[in-house]
Amino acid sequence: MRLVLGLSIFAITVCYAAVQQDTITPPDPATELLREAYSIGMNFPPQERADLLMTLAYAAVGINRELVAPWSVELFYFADKNLPPDNNRAAIKKNALTALAQVDPNRAADLFTQLDLPPRPLASEDVRSFAARTIFAKLWEADGGIKSLEKIERLANWLGETGQYPYSAMAGIILKTAEKDQEKAADLFAEAQGFLQRDPGFPVTNKQFVEDFLLRTWKIPDKGILASAIASALASIERAEKSNHTSAKVEIFASQGKVALHSEGDYLVYRLLPLVQALDAKWADQLRDKYKEAASAPNDSLDSPSPAAVAVSPDGSASDAAMRNALDRGTVARVSQLAASDPKRALQLALSISDPSERSIALASVFPTYAKIDAAGSDTGLEALSKQLDSMDSGIGKLQVMTALIEADFALKKNKDAVAMIGRAFDLGSELVARDLEANPGEMLYLAPGVDELTRITEDTAKRPSVKFDILQKVRRASPDLLRARLLVAAARGIAAAPKPVDGEPN
């Protein structure tokens, strides 16, 4: 009897093992690339290891969420222990909790008050308030909305008492609260605007209060509280104009064309004028008399304000050329936004960019959608941009244009043209990174010209399995290890985003 029982158990074990073997899933290639990058980074210098861990944690959100929490928490404590207490450490720890909030917002909230207080002298913003945008929104989702409000309000007030109140984060929470409890939403608005006078002087506070908070939530309070909030904003703007050395240039993308303003104060008053006009026409006239430049700009719409490019130099030391380049980059971003809905206007805006490289990048982003109304013109434009590369110096400008052309060719299904340029761009980018790291020993990798472009090229190519280019071969040969690890993460993101093949279709 014992013998029969033993045989029966053995048979069951064999069958179970067979079933288990049949259902084993192959390792996910994107996850394996993340693990490979993690292993490479184990012996990196502390700053570089922290930067890689941050990149891995964010990538894992879309690839393997089981890895997000362990890597985020590891990053948080690693940075706290191994990095000097400066702005960079504060930002790294903030990023760790922002990633953690994607999978465990309550744990991120529990660690939130362990973030570094703003160092002195003040940076442009309190990075903790930036993290609150994600953490508060995720807390609201996880805890069933209004139930999370006590915890969110406590953390928001702690930020206001120890640094910068999280106006951008709380605007979204106040709007959600108003759907359930209008009176509580009005109380939160009044509480938030009271912190403006206590701000220690972060350069971005006025812009965030006006654009991200006041112009989003102005329908919540009664007219008296709203008028008080506007008056506080105007007083804070005036103080900032008198007391700091910040310089700013603004270009507003109005329907009539670009409109230039020459101070952040004028820009913010320009944004406030439609709201003041709706509340008190006489007050609006007084502002127009005081802020002539803001008043001379075309009337903005309170419901659909015109987008703008803003260049700010916190200490006023940036050259005119640097400020102009920052505005051009802002225009490139606006061109990309506009291309899908209005390619003709996007093309006109791209042609207005003064910097040749930035203009070429903007044009490359327009041509794929412009092809829907003028295919021949789009092809001619892309050919002209490709020929232009021959006369460009082998610097970052050339690589940026090549990257934009690769993306445009992929978008237009011109895979052969894209592949022909990938190898050249990858080699140029690798050369630029190597040259910069040699000239600046100890510099963080992400600061090296070419890193961002190589990352974009790697991710964009990896998400297209039908493209006959072995991007992983290029990545695994990349040097130094700092670059190879970062590009492995980019390849993982691309592979994870690749369209899944239909049954029977070759991959």
In the chain, DSSP finds a helix count (H) and a strand count (E) of 25, 3
The pair of three-digit structure tokens given for residue 373, joined into one six-digit string? 């109304």
What's the chain's length in residues?
A: 507
| Section 149-158 average pLDDT | 97
Report the 3 state secondary structure along 236-263: HHHHHHHHCCCEEEEEEEECCEEEEECC
Q: What average pLDDT does range 76-100 have in this prediction?
A: 96
Distance of CA 193 to the CA centre of its chain: 26
Cβ–Cβ under 8 Å, residues 269 and 211:
no
Distance in angstroms (rounded) separating the CA atoms of residues 150 and 372: 51
Q: What is the reported pLDDT for 300? A: 74
Strand, coil or helix: what is 314?
coil
Question: Rounded distance, CA 380 to CA 376, Å?
Answer: 6
Q: What is the pLDDT of residue 19?
A: 44
The H or E element spanning position 292 is helix 292-296
* Per-residue CA distances from 174 to 119, 140, 244, 396, 504 (Å): 29, 11, 31, 43, 50
The mean pLDDT of 168-191, rounded to a whole number, is: 97
pLDDT of 503 strictly over 70 = no
Residue 3: enclosing H or E segment and its boundaries?
Answer: helix 2-23
Mean pLDDT of 84-106: 96
pLDDT at 504 (0 to 100): 44
For residue 498, what are the CA distances in angstroms to 316, 340, 464, 466, 493? 45, 22, 6, 10, 9
For 387-396, what is the mean pLDDT? 93
Give the separation between CA 252 and CA 260, rounded to whole angstroms.
6
- 305-339 residue pLDDT tens: 889 999 988 778 889 999 999 999 999 999 999 99
pLDDT-derived band at 2 (thresholds 50, 70, 90) equals very low
Choose between 122 and 326: higher pLDDT: 326
Check whether 6 has a pLDDT greater than 60.
no
Please return the burial class of 156, using the count of CB atoms within 10 Å of its CB with bins 0-12, 13-18 and 19+.
buried
The C-alpha angle 459, 461, 465, rounded to 5 degrees, equals 115
Question: What does the pLDDT average to over 31-45?
Answer: 97
Of 136, 210, 205, whose CA–CA distance to 176 is shortest? 136
**What's the mean pLDDT in 95-122?**
95
At 8 the pLDDT is: 36
Q: Is the pLDDT of residue 11 over 90?
A: no
Give the distance between the most distant pair of CA atoms in the chain.
Answer: 104
- Is residue 418 over pLDDT 90? yes
Q: Percent of the chain beyond pLDDT 70?
A: 93
State whether residue 123 is helix, strand or coil.
Answer: coil
pLDDT at 27 over 90: no
349 has pLDDT over 70: yes
Quick one: angle between helices 105-112 and 127-142, nearest 10? 140
CB 461 within 8 A of CB 469: yes
> Is the pTM for the entire model greater than 0.75?
yes
The H-or-E segment that residue 441 falls in is none
pLDDT at 10 over 70: no
